[in-house]
C-alpha cells in the first residue's frame, strides 16, 4: 500500500486557511453563506484526509459515525424551522463538546500518554463535558422541555463549587495514576466525567431564558477550547484541531463578552446571578394599555414620513418575517422609508433577527444596530415593535429594576409606538414593560403574522 501520510500535515494546513477565510466571510451578512461553504469544505477535507493516518484500522467505525452523524445533521438542518434554530445550535454545539470529551477519554485510556498530554486531555475533557451537559440543558429550556426560568435552591452555589472541586481532584488523580492502572480506569476516570457532566448541568440550571444568547455563545467557546486542548493531547499534535478550536474559542469568547456588554452585565452575573428567578414586585406603573385596530395603524403608517421596525423573538414564533418584508416593500413603494432596529440580544441566539430577516429577503442596508438607530427614534413617526419585550423596556432606566442599566432600543422616544403582541404577558426577564403603558403606545393584539397581514391589506386599500 502506498504511504500517503506525508500529505496529511500539508492538507491540514490548507484546511486551517479555509477555516480562517470562512470565519472572516461569516463576519458580514452578505458573505456569510459563502463563509459557511468555505468552513464546511475545510471540515470535509480534514475528515477525509484523516483516513490516511498510519496504522489506522477502524475505518468501518469512522465511516459509520460519519454516515449516522452527517445524516442526522443534514435531516435536522433541513427540517428545523427558524424558530427552532437556537435550540438546534445549542444541541449541535453540545454534541461538539461531547465529542471533545470522548476524545479526551480515549486519550486518557492510552498507555503511552505522558503527564503533560494527560493533563491537557483532562482539562479538555472537563471543558467538553461541561459544554455538553450545559448545552443539553440550554436545548431543553429553549425547546420547552424544562421551565425556561432559572431553577434555584438553597446552597446551590456551594454545591456547584463542591462538584467542580471534586471533578478537578478526580482529574488530578487520573493524571497522577496512569489510566492503564485498573483503579484509575474503574474509579477515577468515570468519576471525573460524571462530576464534570454534573457541574455542567448544575451550572446551567440557574440560567434563565433571557440569558440564552450569552449561554449558547459561551458554551460554543468552551467547545472550541476543548477541541484545541484535545489537539495538543495527542502524541503527535493535530494542528488542524488546535487551530480550528482556538478560532472557535476566541470567536465565541468575543461574542460572549459583546452579548454580556449589550445587557450591561458581567459574565459572572449571567452565569451565577439567576437573572429572572423572581418577578419584579412592588412596582406600580401609571397608565393603561390601549388597544388599536389594524385599520387605524395602517392609516398612521400611510401618513408617516419615517417608520422603524423593532423585531423580537415573537416575530420568529409567529414566522412573520415574510409578511414583514411584504409590509416593508409596500411602504417603500409609497416612498415611506423603513429601517429595522436590531438589538444585539433580540431573539434566543446571537444574530437571530438578522438571520430571520435575511431569510425573508430584507436587505442588509435596512438593518441598524442599537447605537446607530437610537438617535433616530425622536424623529420617527411610527415604530412597530413586533414581538420584542425586554429589549425595548424603559424599565432599564428605572433605579432598582432588575433591568436597570441594560442598553435598550429607545423606541419610547418615537412619536407613535405600535406594539404587536399576542397578549399582555411579560418577557423572559419576568418584568412588566413600562413601554406598554406610555401615552404614545398602542397595542395591536394577535398573532404577528396575521396582524402584519391585516396591515398589508389595509394599506393596499389606502
Instruction: Give 254-301 pLDDT, tens digit per residue.
Output: 888 888 877 777 777 777 765 554 555 555 677 788 999 999 999 999
pLDDT at 71 over 70: yes
Pairwise CA distance, residues 70 & 93, whole Å: 14
**In this predicted model, what pLDDT tens digit does every residue of 354-368 receive, in sequence order?**
888 888 889 888 999
Look up 296 and say whether it is catalytic: no
pLDDT at 372 over 60: yes
- Min mean pLDDT across 29-33, 369-373, 388-392 is at 29-33
Handedness of CA 427, 432, 435, 437 (dihedral sign): positive
pLDDT computed for residue 125 by the predictor: 95
Using alpha carbons, list the distances in angstroms from residue 401 to 267, 278, 279, 431: 19, 12, 10, 8
Q: 224-236 burial, b for 16+ CB within 10 Å, e for fewer?
A: bbbbbbbbbbbee
Name the percent of the chain lying above pLDDT 70.
Answer: 91
Average pLDDT over residues 69-96: 87
C-alpha cell at 119: 493533563
Place of cell 478526580: 170
Strands 382-386 and 367-369: unpaired
pLDDT computed for residue 281 by the predictor: 54
Confidence of residue 111 (pLDDT cuts 50, 70, 90): low
Average pLDDT over residues 36-46: 90
- Min mean pLDDT across 58-62, 194-198, 396-400, 445-449 is at 396-400
Count the Cβ atoms, other than its own, within 10 Å of residue 366: 16
pLDDT computed for residue 178 by the predictor: 65
Report whether 143 contacts 87 (CB < 8 A): yes
pLDDT computed for residue 288 by the predictor: 83
Average pLDDT over residues 137-164: 88
Residue of 390, 410, 439, 447 marked active site: 390
pLDDT computed for residue 10 by the predictor: 87
Pick 250 or 425 by higher pLDDT: 250
**In this predicted model, what pLDDT tens digit does every residue of 293-325 receive, in sequence order?**
999 999 999 999 999 999 998 898 888 999 999
Confidence of residue 102 (pLDDT cuts 50, 70, 90): very high
Report whether 207 contacts 134 (CB < 8 A): no
Amino acid at each position: 500500500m502506498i504511504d500517503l501520510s506525508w500529505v496529511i500535515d500539508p492538507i491540514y494546513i490548507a484546511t486551517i486557511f479555509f477555516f480562517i477565510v470562512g470565519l472572516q466571510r461569516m463576519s458580514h451578512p452578505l458573505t456569510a453563506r459563502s463563509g459557511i461553504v468555505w468552513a464546511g469544505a475545510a471540515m470535509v477535507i480534514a475528515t477525509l484526509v484523516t483516513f490516511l493516518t498510519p496504522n489506522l484500522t477502524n475505518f468501518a467505525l469512522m465511516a459509520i459515525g460519519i454516515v449516522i452523524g452527517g445524516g442526522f445533521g443534514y435531516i435536522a438542518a433541513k427540517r428545523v424551522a427558524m424558530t427552532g434554530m437556537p435550540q438546534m445550535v445549542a444541541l449541535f454545539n453540545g454534541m461538539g463538546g461531547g465529542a471533545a470529551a470522548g476524545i479526551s477519554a480515549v486519550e486518557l485510556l492510552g498507555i503511552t500518554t505522558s503527564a503533560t498530554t494527560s493533563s491537557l486531555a483532562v482539562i479538555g475533557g472537563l471543558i467538553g463535558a461541561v459544554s455538553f451537559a450545559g448545552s443539553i440543558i440550554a436545548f431543553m429550556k429553549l425547546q420547552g422541555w424544562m421551565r425556561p426560568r432559572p431553577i434555584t435552591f438553597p446552597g446551590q452555589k456551594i454545591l456547584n463549587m463542591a462538584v467542580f472541586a471534586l471533578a478537578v481532584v478526580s482529574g488530578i488523580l487520573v493524571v497522577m495514576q496512569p489510566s492503564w492502572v485498573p483503579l484509575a480506569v474503574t474509579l477515577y476516570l468515570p468519576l471525573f466525567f460524571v462530576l464534570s457532566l454534573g457541574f455542567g448541568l448544575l451550572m446551567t440550571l440557574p440560567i434563565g431564558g433571557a440569558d440564552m444568547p450569552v449561554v449558547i455563545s459561551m458554551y460554543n467557546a468552551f467547545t472550541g477550547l476543548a477541541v484545541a486542548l484535545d489537539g495538543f493531547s495527542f502524541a503527535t499534535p493535530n494542528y488542524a484541531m488546535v487551530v480550528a478550536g482556538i478560532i472557535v474559542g476566541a470567536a465565541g469568547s468575543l461574542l460572549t463578552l459583546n452579548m454580556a456588554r449589550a445587557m450591561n452585565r458581567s459574565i459572572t452575573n449571567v452565569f451565577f446571578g439567576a437573572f429572572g428567578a423572581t418577578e419584579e414586585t412592588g412596582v406600580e406603573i401609571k397608565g393603561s394599555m390601549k388597544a388599536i385596530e389594524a385599520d387605524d395603524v395602517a392609516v398612521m403608517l400611510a401618513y408617516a414620513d419615517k417608520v422603524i421596525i423593532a423585531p423580537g423573538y415573537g416575530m420568529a414564533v409567529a414566522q412573520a418575517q415574510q409578511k414583514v418584508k411584504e409590509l416593508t416593500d409596500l411602504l417603500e413603494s409609497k416612498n415611506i422609508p423603513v429601517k429595522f432596529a436590531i438589538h444585539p440580544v433580540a431573539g434566543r441566539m446571537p444574530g437571530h433577527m438578522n438571520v430571520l430577516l435575511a431569510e425573508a429577503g430584507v436587505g442588509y442596508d435596512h438593518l441598524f444596530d442599537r447605537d446607530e438607530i437610537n438617535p433616530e427614534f425622536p424623529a420617527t413617526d411610527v415604530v412597530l415593535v413586533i414581538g420584542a419585550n425586554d429589549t425595548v423596556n424603559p424599565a432599564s432606566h428605572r433605579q432598582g429594576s432588575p433591568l436597570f442599566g441594560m442598553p435598550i432600543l429607545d423606541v419610547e422616544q418615537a412619536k407613535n409606538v405600535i406594539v404587536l403582541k399576542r397578549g399582555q404577558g411579560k418577557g423572559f426577564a419576568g418584568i412588566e414593560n413600562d413601554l406598554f403603558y406610555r401615552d404614545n403606545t398602542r397595542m395591536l393584539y394577535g398573532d404577528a403574522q396575521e396582524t402584519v397581514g391585516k396591515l398589508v391589506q389595509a394599506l393596499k386599500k389606502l
